[in-house]
Amino acid sequence: MVPKGWSHTTLGKVMVFKNGLNFTKADVGEEIKIVGVSDFKDLSELRSTERLESVNVASHIKDDELLTDGDLLFVRSNGNKDLIGRCLFFPEVKERLSFSGFTIRGRADKKNILPQYIAFVARSSFFKSQISQYGGGTNISNLSQQILNDIALPLPPHDEQKKIVQILSTWDKAISTTEQLLANSQQQKKALMQQLLTGKKRLLDSNGVRFSGEWITIPLEKLCHINPKRPPEPKDGLVSFIPMEFVSEDAKLLSTSERFYTDVSKGFTSFLDGDILIAKITPCFENGKGCYVQGMKNGVGFGSTEFHVLRANKLSSPLYLYYMTNTSEFRIKGEANMQGSAGQKRVTTDYLKSLKVTVPKQVEEQQKIAVVISTADQDITALQQKLDALKQEKKALMQQLLTGKRRVKIDNKEVA
């Protein structure tokens, strides 16, 4: 059943498909920019061709082998099966542009359907589920023109298509704006850390006077306890447990599960609220995997033995230490001093103890620096949460609008 005023059709009745070009590096012929699978990335539209690769093909490119305004490109084949079926929309094409043999071009019959409407449909859950169904399972190996032809399509009238596109485009703009704000905030935080954690920028103390004291160079073990002893068992026996996969770059407040102390008292690393975790192994260490631990059950947690634990002493601020371990300088030095065989290299306890770091002598200055960076972190977290919410709400709205479960208003009249 389709909504009133809609028609039931298939994608093959409103679009024509064509496989892309096959070529080799040895080919000699026309030079042209080619859109390949690697150009899809996380994009839904391709508006700039500046970074596209130019290749030579064995013969002259025919007009039918070029992309034009309103075309859609689908990933036909790729080693990463999750990419198969992904769609890239071309709202405007200003130069001769073709597409690789690992893709399939879709060209809409513009008399019956808006190309941008199909672009939204191609990113919907019901579209992806049909690709999996016709492809023989969730992880299909290849997309074909026949699979695309057979996809069922509930199709609204042209005016309703246009209205749906306008609504979803508004959501896309909000998502894009939030993504840019998030990227800007992340970049600003990196610049802020570079200035504050090297002393290039000094903050004001509690009296409103700029800090001016010298920084000190000191072994890390003088600032904190490295891999301290196991804490005593809490009275009720409950502690937090953190799986390694929950710990990621810039993680501070972690999702945990409760376990009894006796279940995790052996074979795991222990830590307390306020401790800093640092991955020992490559590539986790190189990628900044670690966290500042807080909110543990009874203040006690356990996790993978592949983490070092740093516990600040009276000479340091815990949160400052956490941000210091996230700097590229700290990570690069650690990577250069890993020990062990290839693929199994680790940052050792002895290396951390001997590592010399330069920090503000006054703990108050460390604390001020940590507060400023933490505030930047909070802004980033808020933007990420907003972005996640927008994407989730848009996904739900797409499911409703593109299936007719929710109708739109056209000329201030709601479609029944």
- State residue 58's pLDDT score: 74
Domain 7-155 and domain 215-354 have a common topology: yes
pTM: 0.84
Domain boundary assignment for the chain: 7-155, 215-354
H helical segments located in 216-284: 261-264
Please give the DSSP secondary-structure letter assigned to residue 102.
T
- State residue 232's pLDDT score: 87
pLDDT at 108 over 90: yes
The token duo for 157 is: 């009238």
For the chain, give the percent of residues with pLDDT over 70. Answer: 93
**172 vs 24, residue with greater confidence:** 172
pLDDT at 316 over 60: yes
Could you give the dihedral angle defined by the CA atoms of residues 335, 341, 345 and 349, in that order, rounded to the nearest 10 degrees?
A: -100
Instruction: Give CA angle at 390 (73, 385), nearest 5°.
Output: 120
pLDDT, tens only, 197-226? 999 999 999 999 999 989 999 999 999 999
What b/e string do you get for 153-172 counting C-beta neighbours within 10 Å, with b at 16 or more? Answer: bbbbeeebbbbbbebbeebb
Specify whether the CB–CB gap between 271 and 291 falls below 8 A: no
- State residue 61's pLDDT score: 84
pLDDT at 143 over 70: yes
Q: In this structure, are strands 257-260 and 238-242 parallel, antiparallel, or unpaired? A: antiparallel
**CATH top-level class of 7-155:** alpha beta
- Across residues 130-146, what is the average pLDDT? 79
Lowest mean pLDDT across 26-30, 137-141, 157-161, 356-360: 137-141
Mean pLDDT for the chain overall: 89
Residue indicated by tokens 């043999």: 101
Give the pLDDT band of residue 25 (cuts 50, 70, 90).
low
Specify whether the CB–CB gap between 338 and 331 falls below 8 A: no
Amino acid at 218: I
Closest CA to 101 of 145, 45, 46, 133: 145
Give the pLDDT band of residue 109 (cuts 50, 70, 90).
very high
H helical segments located in 102-254: 115-121, 125-134, 145-150, 158-196
- Across residues 287-306, what is the average pLDDT? 86
pLDDT, tens only, 243-295? 777 776 555 545 566 777 777 667 788 999 999 999 888 777 777 788 898 88
pLDDT, tens only, 64-93? 999 999 999 999 988 787 888 999 999 999
- State residue 396's pLDDT score: 94
Give the pLDDT band of residue 166 (cuts 50, 70, 90).
very high
Give the torsion sign (CA, 148, 149, 151, 156).
positive
Residue indicated by tokens 């590229």: 328
Give the pLDDT band of residue 1 (cuts 50, 70, 90).
confident
- State residue 285's pLDDT score: 78
Third-level CATH fold of 215-354: Adenine-n6-DNA-methyltransferase TaqI; Chain A, domain 2 (3.90.220)
The token duo for 279 is: 């991955």
pLDDT at 383 over 90: yes
- State residue 137's pLDDT score: 59
Q: Cα(359)–Cα(352) distance, rounded to whole angstroms?
A: 15
**304 vs 153, residue with greater confidence:** 153
pLDDT at 104 over 90: yes
H helical segments located in 11-65: 11-14
Q: Cα(314)–Cα(246) distance, rounded to whole angstroms?
A: 29
For the chain, give the percent of residues with pLDDT over 90. Answer: 60
